[in-house]
Amino acid sequence: MRIALIAVVTLTAGLAFASSAFAQRPAPGSGPVAAACQDDIQKLCRGLEHGRGAVRACLETNKAKVSPACASALESTGGGPRR
């Protein structure tokens, strides 16, 4: 009985920590790159879907054409999850 209680407490704590980690991720299209590159996205990557890396790939491909603020955001953030 005691082992079962310890297992339940451990599992509950693990789920609590995991859910808080997921809650910290910004929604697709709302992170720092999306904010800094909004005009560049409209100009260079119109119609691409946020959240699967297509917009970021487009911006990286066109890095020489993006604004300085957008280039800085691209260099100071990771690529995000790849699916």
Nearest Cα to Cα of residue 65 among 45, 80, 79? 45
Question: How does pLDDT run across 33-69, given as a tens digit for each residue?
Answer: 999 999 999 999 999 998 889 999 999 999 999 999 9
Model-level pTM? 0.63
Cα–Cα dist 35/67, whole Å = 12
Q: Are 33 and 56 in contact (CB under 8 A)?
A: yes
Cα–Cα dist 80/83, whole Å = 10
- Helix or strand holding residue 16 (H, E): helix 2-23
Q: Are 70 and 37 in contact (CB under 8 A)?
A: yes
